[in-house]
Amino acid sequence: MKVLYALESIRTPWLDTVMAAITHLGEETVFMVAALFVFWCVSKRHGYYLLAVGFAGTVLNQFLKLLFRIPRPWVLDSDFTIVESARAQATGYSFPSGHSQNAIGTFGGIARFTRRKWVRAAAIVVAVLVPLSRMYLGVHTPLDVGVAAVIAVALVFALYPLMERSDSRHGVMGAVLAVMLALAAGYLLFVSLYPFPADVDAANLASGVENAWKLLGATVGMLVGWWLDVRFIHFDTRAVWYVQLIKLVGGLALLLGIRAALKAPLAAGPGAGAGGAGGRRSRRRGALRCDGAVRRGGVAHGVRAAVPCAGKAGVLSITGRLCGAY
């Protein structure tokens, strides 16, 4: 906590605003836009590379969050304060830092493959500043950021040589995607079957179930898209600037459209009562039943209660966000 207290001592309103802006560069939306821009407009191979680093990293990140369940810094030390504007987005467990891992994986990956020195320099600066911003804002400890950095850097360097061979050897890309699919499926089984203790936070567990479905759906979509392109489409990333702009804007619009179209029919299935006042009452009653079941039955029975109750209200509304979600 010494590092966090040192950063707390230099806070100013101006620096709070700057760091809050920088930290947004570690969000999932930035990762998706960057990866898809590279995929559609620069290099399919490097686009797949960024997506592989991001998806594999997120599986590991979410697994560690639920496995260790380490609270946020201000919970660990009640005397420590955070920048209040960052509190709303600082949900879930603290270890390891998702924003830091996203930023280092995305911008570190760009720095790894780009040949333009200014792009590499800018990417490295962002990859360093985002983790610093997480500590400055008080939402992560150096341990959270450090472990996230190790995971991201390991993936950036481990996957790069594999993806460089994927153009000439389709089996390499297929194997990477198969491993990613296995990781996503394994994480889904983990959040569904692991005997979490009775005091596990229900909201965090529900978020874990949500992310498991998102990752599984995104990986399946990536695998299907790769197969279709290899067999039938063979699209070319090279084009004049206005065609590149059309590809990027049109592609993102298509993803958002599919996401919106799937939301209503999937939300109409079991667990559709998750929205609105009735849904809130249902979740509240469900949470009480889960809590009671955990107290009565201990860990073994608590898992059977906690996982369905955490997931029932959310899983099907979650699956509506599989397409284009990360």
Whether residue 99 lies in the annotated active site: yes
From residue 228, alpha-carbon distances to 162, 178, 232, 235, 253 in Å are: 21, 15, 6, 10, 20
> 24, 99, 170, 301: which one is catalytic?
99
From residue 71, alpha-carbon distances to 75, 76, 95, 197, 311 in Å are: 6, 6, 8, 15, 21
| Rounded distance between C-alpha atoms, residue 265 and residue 24, angstroms | 31
From the list 280, 279, 287, 284, the residue with the least C-alpha distance to 308 is 287
Whether residue 140 lies in the annotated active site: yes
Buried b vs exposed e over 252-269: b needs ≥16 C-beta within 10 Å? beebeeeeeebeeebbee
From the list 233, 210, 230, 199, the residue with the least C-alpha distance to 320 is 210
Strands (E), 16-69: none
DSSP string, 177-224: HHHHHHHHHHHHHHHHHS---TT--HHHHHHHHHHHHHHHHHHHHHHH
> 24, 46, 140, 301: which one is catalytic?
140
Q: Catalytic residues, which ones?
A: 99, 140
